[in-house]
Structures are given as structure tokens and as C-alpha cells.
């Protein structure tokens, strides 16, 4: 077992809160979990190290012992040298009661609790369309998990055999080591706290009682969900050990880029190209929305860059019935591939437009005025 500082292992400060400890553990456990790093011994050892650090720091009493005495407070192999014995010359002081309170059992014997670790949380990334995000949808996803071995029915022992009482701890799940003037209770290294020893393990699950499999889960994605938001499915993560609580499954939402619309919170934006004639004279045009097409009236003398709002045609709020709006950004389109007749008409229009009044070309006149101010 590595003797690195448990806080350093989890990458947290010594005054970290319980939530900080849990967040750090989840992040690292997800990264180094054996299922995500098959045949990677380094990752497996790192995962065990993380589990051990979390086991100590997530328990208030164990954390107190660790903060006061370091590894000696939780690891009997460190011996009693960390405390010193000068203050107890005479040797009659007994730490048994102290450590029995810390670790939840009688220091001299008796049954102890089996270690049960909550299952790891899992994350699943899912990509949906903008339409699906706007309306909400149910999706089925397949995730890795574990289930009870159908050969040994969860016992871990080969059919026809059974687990025997652990020869090291005699079924208690813990061992007690006396070092100098104090006694420490520790999880049994042989049975890992179960109190049982499997001498002839099941050939399918190799003594774990669980086998890897996959399961299909239905996710209800609410209308209005946005990029980067996530949905928590309680208890759908990795199963815990010794019937402990399973972890959670977090479904991370990613929204595909749309060919027409850009999203900004509850609002949608799109470019709306209109003809020169419609821009000058005004008229009605059809505008696409997520619910079909609607008519939008373009006022006469509309310029490129004008923004027009269509109320209630955006995205629904994920937390209420409020609706966003659709904003159309006007682009006056210059015609291309003109016929000879079209060219003649435009040339004629340009000819009769020479010397137009300021009120007819306000932007052009304003621009020219600014140039004069600069160069004059």
C-alpha cells in the first residue's frame, strides 16, 4: 500500500469539505476504473489507492484519526513510533477503547462491519438534434454494468462448493494488531472484510460473484435542455460492494449544429435573405421555424442587418412554460446570373437614380460625410 498522503492522492486540501472529497473521488475513480482501463495494471493500482484514500477521508472518525496520527492512525504496519512512548513510561495505558470507537468494533475481538463501498458514478455522452432538444424526447442507451453470476448465483464459489470461514480473521472480517502500547483494528487482508474465504472460485466470475454485462436504460430528455447540461439517473451507475448503494449515471447532453438556426439560451437566431425589391418596397416572406413556416412582414426600405423578432418561436424553458423568441437577421441579397433584360433595367434604374436626394440613400450620404470629415 502506498504511503502517499491521502489528501495528495485525491488532489485536495487538508481542509476540504465532504463534498470536495466526494467530487475528487468520483472524478478520479471514473478515470482509473478497471472497466475503463482493461489490462492496465498501473490504473488498477491507482484505483485501489484512490479507493483507500476515499475510504479513510470520507469517514469522519477515520479522517480524524488520520489527521491526528497520520498513517499510524489507520495502518498498523506503521507501528507505534509515530506517537512516541516517553509520556507513558510504565506501559499500562491502553489505546484499545480509543480505536474501538474510531473503527466501530471491539478492539480485542468480535464481529466488525464488512467494508461496503458505494458504486462508482458513470457518465454517458449523448448527441441530439436541436429539434429534439426543443421538444423533448425519450432515448434508449446501452451502458456497461455488472450482474449476479448465473453459474454461482453470486456466491463466488464453484458450484458444489461453498465459501469457508476465513482462516486469518476467523470470520470477523477484521484483524487486530498490537503495536507497542496500542491496538489497531484493520480490515482482513485475506477476505477483504467478508469473513469468508473462497478456496475454489467460480470459473465464470473468478470469485467475484458478479460478471460484466450491458443494460439498456431509457432516458427522458426534457424539452428545452441545453448544451452541456446533464441528466442524473439515480442508482444506474456501478453496483456497490457487499450490497452497498449503486452509483449514479450522468447523461451529458450535446446538441448537433443546426443548418439554419443558432441557439442563444431560449432564443433562436437565423439569417433571412430577401430580395432587393422586397427590401425596398416591403412585402411578406415565409420564415422557417422549428414548428413549420410562418409569414413575416418586411417593412419597406428595410436595410441589411435589421433584426426582426417573431415572438414565441424560440425554445421552451426547461424549468417553466416560458418560450423564447426567433430573431431573423435581414440580409439583402444581390442578384447573380442576371439576364440581359435584367441588366438593362438595373442600368436604367441606376441612371435615373443619379443624384438621388439624401433622404433616399441615408447610409451612403452619411458615409461620404464621414470621409469628408476625415480627409478635409
- Beta-bridge partners for 311: none
**CB under 8 Å to 265, separation ≥6 — which residues?**
226, 315, 324
Q: Which residue has the cell 441615408?
A: 362
* Residue-level pLDDT, tens digit, the chain, 376 residues: 347 889 989 999 988 998 899 889 888 988 888 777 878 888 888 888 898 888 889 888 888 888 876 776 676 554 433 333 333 333 333 333 333 333 344 333 444 444 556 778 888 999 999 999 999 999 999 988 877 788 888 778 888 888 888 888 888 888 877 665 566 778 888 777 777 888 888 888 888 778 888 889 999 999 999 999 999 999 888 877 656 788 899 999 999 999 999 999 999 999 999 998 999 999 999 999 999 999 999 999 999 999 999 999 999 999 889 999 999 999 999 988 999 999 999 888 888 876 655 555 666 556 556 666 666 6
pLDDT of residue 100: 38
Task: Write the Ramachandran bin of 75: left for phi over 0, alpha for psi from -120 to 50, otherwise beta.
Answer: beta
| CATH annotation of 262-334 | 2.60.260.20
Task: Give the per-residue pLDDT at 66.
Answer: 81
Rounded to 5°, the CA angle 87-90-93 comes to 70
Mention every residue, 6+ apart, whose C-beta is less than 8 A from residue 75. 1, 3, 184, 186
3-state class of 313 per DSSP?
coil
Which residues touch 151 (CB under 8 Å, ≥6 apart)?
159, 202, 203, 204, 205
Q: What residue spans define the domains of the chain?
A: 262-334, 345-376
Cα separations (Å) of 211 from 30, 144, 204, 207?
Answer: 19, 11, 8, 10
CA separation for the pair 254, 200 (Å, rounded) = 47
Which residue from 11, 5, 6 is spatially nearest to 24, judged by alpha carbons? 11
The pLDDT value recorded for residue 44 is 85
Q: How far is 236 from 214, CA to CA, in rounded Å?
A: 12
Determine the pLDDT at residue 81: 35
φ, ψ for residue 218, nearest 5 deg: -95, 130
Number of H helices, E strands in the chain: 9, 15
DSSP lists the bridge partners of residue 174 as 187
Among residues 303, 315, 314, 307, the alpha carbon closest in space to that of 361 is found at 303
Residue 6 dihedral angles phi and psi, to the nearest 5°: -60, -35
* pTM listed for this prediction: 0.56
Amino acid at each position: 500500500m502506498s504511503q502517499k498522503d491521502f489528501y495528495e492522492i485525491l488532489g485536495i486540501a487538508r481542509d476540504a469539505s465532504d463534498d470536495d472529497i466526494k467530487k475528487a473521488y468520483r472524478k478520479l475513480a471514473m478515470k482509473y476504473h478497471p472497466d475503463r482501463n482493461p489490462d492496465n495494471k498501473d490504473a488498477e493500482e491507482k484505483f485501489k489507492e484512490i479507493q483507500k484514500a476515499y475510504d479513510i477521508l470520507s469517514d469522519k472518525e477515520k479522517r480524524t484519526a488520520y489527521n491526528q496520527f497520520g498513517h499510524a492512525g489507520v495502518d498498523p504496519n506503521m507501528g507505534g513510533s509515530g506517537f512516541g512512548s516517553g509520556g507513558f513510561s510504565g506501559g499500562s495505558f491502553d489505546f484499545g477503547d480509543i480505536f474501538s470507537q474510531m473503527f466501530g468494533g471491539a478492539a480485542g475481538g468480535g464481529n466488525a462491519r464488512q467494508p461496503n463501498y458505494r458504486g462508482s458514478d458513470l457518465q454517458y455522452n449523448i448527441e441530439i438534434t436541436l429539434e429534439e432538444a426543443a421538444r423533448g424526447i425519450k432515448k434508449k442507451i446501452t451502458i456497461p454494468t455488472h450482474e449476479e453470476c448465473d453459474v454461482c448465483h453470486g456466491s463466488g464459489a464453484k458450484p458444489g462448493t461453498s465459501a469457508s470461514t476465513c482462516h486469518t480473521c476467523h470470520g470477523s472480517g477484521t484483524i487486530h494488531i498490537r503495536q507497542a502500547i496500542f491496538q489497531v483494528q484493520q480490515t482482513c487482508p485475506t477476505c477483504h472484510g467478508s469473513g469468508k474465504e473462497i478456496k475454489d472460485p467460480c470459473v465464470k466470475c473468478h470469485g467475484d460473484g458478479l460478471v460484466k454485462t450491458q443494460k439498456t436504460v431509457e432516458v427522458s430528455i426534457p424539452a428545452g435542455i441545453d448544451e452541456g447540461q446533464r441528466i442524473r439517473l439515480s442508482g444506474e451507475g456501478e453496483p456497490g460492494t457487499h450490497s452497498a448503494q449503486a452509483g449514479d449515471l450522468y447523461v451529458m447532453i450535446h446538441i448537433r449544429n443546426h443548418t439554419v438556426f443558432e441557439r442563444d439560451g431560449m432564443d433562436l437566431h437565423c439569417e433571412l435573405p430577401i430580395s432587393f425589391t422586397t427590401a425596398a418596397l416591403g412585402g411578406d416572406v415565409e420564415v422557417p421555424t422549428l414548428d413549420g413556416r410562418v409569414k413575416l412582414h418586411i417593412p419597406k426600405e428595410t436595410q441589411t442587418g435589421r433584426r426582426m423578432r417573431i415572438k414565441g418561436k424560440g425554445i421552451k424553458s426547461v424549468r417553466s412554460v416560458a418560450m423564447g423568441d426567433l430573431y431573423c437577421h435581414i440580409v439583402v441579397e444581390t442578384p447573380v446570373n442576371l439576364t440581359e433584360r435584367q441588366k438593362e433595367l438595373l442600368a436604367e434604374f441606376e441612371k435615373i437614380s443619379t443624384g438621388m436626394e439624401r433622404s433616399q440613400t441615408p447610409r451612403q450620404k452619411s458615409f461620404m460625410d464621414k470621409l469628408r470629415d476625415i480627409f478635409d
